């Protein structure tokens, strides 16, 4: 069996469910050891970096014979939970597919990128420059791994090997989370003059958000990502049936596209609340940003995606269509690398069922991904 696929199976077999997502889960420490061992066996220099206690990033480097440009591969070693799966850590191969938690997202990308270093090392090494294989924790929760990585490691370019069906992703959306609280006055349900209904005050906020979302989606769309959007994610309020609710709490998400300034969601909510206060001086409500991650984009004509296109075309045939430059709807660690000044793209294997009860990756695509990344390394690191 190809070494990349053996490594993929070894990685699936080690539980690495994210402890921030699933309290009491295994976490990344054990899989980090497996990865460090695999990288040392290839001959890489291996360093670890605790992003949090017991949650290590593992970074392997392969130095070229002479100085030159560096290339980073980056992948996350955590997975989402396994509720409802029958054998999540038992890597089964069937009809050209490998099943198991993390098979697609993204132990296949990890296995491919680590195996690039093996292929290079076994074929005389890297002529010039440096290859950095960065395996990071916690992408499925808040990416403390990638945040820590960029404080210590840099490269002239990076490929995040999330699953892209062997397409090259050059853009993805960002997101901003905002919480809104409306304040009413608690009173006995029979006394309307004394009470003020915080939930109905929130209805005005929701109506404003509804109109805002329609405006966002009516704007001209990004060619790869479509438009920005928002949705109300979580809401709670009230204490019992027979009382006026004194508070209502909303948590919402705004998806952003490249070109939108950081903090835009909180500013839009502030504008809405200001308008509602102008309409009704008794309206009381406040908004606050909870967490945000920026969108990402690299130009299609940038040297990196063009080099990746070349590398893909000259590797094993990519069926059925020609490779294309695409956008991805979901956020990835590429934005953190990009914000740190590292030009980045996403490129990874083909599969399905990520975050669901039946997850698989196409075995052949893992090898095609590896082979294309070998070509890219030889082309870029000079």
Please, which residue, 85 or 119, has the CB nearer to Zn ion?
85
Say how many residues touch Zn ion, by CB under 5 A. Answer: 3
Which range in 25-33, 56-64, 93-101, 102-110 contacts Zn ion by CB under 5 A? 102-110
Residues 6+ apart with CB under 8 A from 237: 182, 198, 199, 202, 245, 247, 248, 249
Q: Which range touches Zn ion (CB under 5 A), out of 29-37, 100-108, 316-324, 356-364? A: 100-108
Beta-bridge partners for 17: 79
Binding residues for Zn ion restricted to 215-254, rule: CB under 5 A: none
Q: Least separation, in Å, of the C-beta of 145 and Zn ion?
A: 12
Q: Which is nearer to Zn ion, 109 or 305 (CB)?
A: 109
Concatenating the DSSP letter of every residue in 286-354 gives EEEEEEEE--EE--TTSHHHHHHHHHHHTSS---SSPP-EEEESS--THHHHHHTT--EEE----EE-T
Q: Which is nearer to Zn ion, 105 or 297 (CB)?
A: 105
Closest to Zn ion by CB, 244 vs 331, is 331
What does the alpha-carbon distance between residue 212 and residue 254 come to, in Å, rounded to a whole number? 11
Contact between 11 and Zn ion (CB under 5 A)?
A: no
Minimum distance, C-beta of residue 77 to Zn ion, in the bound complex (Å): 10
Q: Quote the least distance from Cβ 162 to Zn ion, whole Å.
A: 5
How many CB atoms lie under 10 A from the CB of residue 79? 32
Contact pattern from residue 111 through residue 150 relative to Zn ion, giving x for each residue in contact according to CB under 5 A and a dash for the rest: ----------------------------------------
In the complex, least distance from residue 106 CB atom to Zn ion, rounded to whole angstroms: 4
Out of 78, 105, 246, 268, which residue is the one contacting Zn ion (CB under 5 A)? Answer: 105
Report which residue's Cβ sits closest to Zn ion: 105
Give least dist CB 364 to Zn ion, A.
20
Which residue lies nearer to Zn ion by CB, 162 or 213? 162
Contact with Zn ion (CB under 5 A) among 106, 304, 312, 367: 106
Backbone angles phi, psi at 296, to 5 degrees: -135, 145
**56 vs 51: CA distance, rounded Å:** 6
Tell me the C-alpha distance between 152 and 133, whole Å: 13
DSSP structure class, residue 127: S
Strand partners, 150: none
By beta-carbon proximity to Zn ion, the closer residue of 184 and 348 is: 348
CA distance 193 to 371: 73
Backbone dihedral region for residue 125 (phi beyond 0: left; psi -120 to 50: alpha; all else: beta):
left
Least distance from Zn ion to the Cβ atom of residue 361, Å: 12
Q: Which of 377, 376, 374 is nearest to 2 (CA)?
A: 374
Instruction: Compare residues 134 and 248 and give the one whose CB is closer to Zn ion.
Output: 134
CA nearest neighbour of 342 among 68, 130, 150: 150
- H/E segment holding residue 74: strand 66-76
Contact 328, 171 (CB under 8 A): yes
Tell the smallest beta-carbon distance from residue 186 to Zn ion (Å): 45
User: 156 to 185, contacts with Zn ion by CB under 5 A?
Assistant: 162
133 vs 216 by CB, closer to Zn ion: 133
Q: How far apart are CA 282 and CA 218, in angstroms?
A: 32
The interface with Zn ion within residues 255-314 (CB under 5 A) comprises none
Q: What is the contact surface with Zn ion in residues (CB under 5 A)?
A: 105-106, 162
């Amino acid at each position: 069996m190809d070494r990349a696929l053996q490594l993929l199976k070894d990685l699936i077999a080690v539980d690495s469910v994210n402890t921030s997502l699933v309290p009491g889960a295994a976490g990344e420490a054990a899989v980090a050891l497996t990865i460090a061992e695999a990288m040392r066996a290839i001959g890489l220099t291996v360093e670890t970096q605790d992003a949090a206690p017991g949650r290590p990033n593992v970074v392997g480097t392969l130095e070229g014979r002479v100085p030159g440009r560096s290339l980073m591969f980056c992948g996350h070693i955590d997975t989402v939970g396994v509720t409802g799966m029958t054998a999540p850590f038992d890597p089964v191969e069937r009809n050209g597919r490998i099943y198991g938690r993390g098979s697609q997202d993204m132990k296949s990308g990890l296995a491919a990128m680590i195996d690039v270093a093996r292929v290079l090392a076994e074929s005389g090494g890297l002529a010039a420059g440096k290859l950095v294989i960065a395996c990071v924790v916690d992408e499925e929760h808040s990416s403390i791994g990638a945040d820590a990585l960029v404080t210590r490691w840099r490269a002239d370019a990076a490929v995040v090997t999330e699953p892209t069906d062997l397409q090259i992703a050059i853009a993805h959306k960002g997101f901003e989370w905002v919480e809104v609280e409306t304040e009413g006055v608690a009173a006995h349900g029979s006394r309307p003059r004394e009470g003020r209904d915080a939930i109905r005050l929130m209805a005005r906020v929701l109506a404003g958000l509804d109109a805002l979302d329609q405006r966002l989606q009516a704007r001209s769309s990004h060619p790869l990502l479509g438009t920005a959007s928002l949705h109300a994610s979580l809401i709670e309020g009230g204490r019992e049936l027979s009382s006026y609710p004194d508070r209502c709490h909303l948590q919402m998400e705004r998806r952003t596209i490249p070109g939108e300034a950081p903090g835009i969601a909180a500013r839009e909510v502030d504008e809405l609340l200001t308008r509602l206060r102008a309409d009704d001086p008794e309206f009381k409500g406040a908004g606050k940003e909870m967490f945000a991650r920026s969108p990402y984009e690299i130009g299609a004509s940038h040297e990196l995606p063009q080099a990746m296109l070349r590398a893909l075309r000259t590797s094993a045939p990519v069926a059925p269509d020609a490779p294309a430059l695409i956008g991805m709807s979901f956020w990835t660690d590429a934005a953190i690398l990009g914000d740190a000044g590292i030009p980045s793209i996403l490129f990874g294997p083909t599969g399905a069922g990520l975050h669901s009860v039946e997850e698989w990756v196409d075995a052949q695509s893992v090898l095609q991904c590896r082979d294309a990344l070998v070509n890219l390394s030889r082309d870029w690191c000079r």
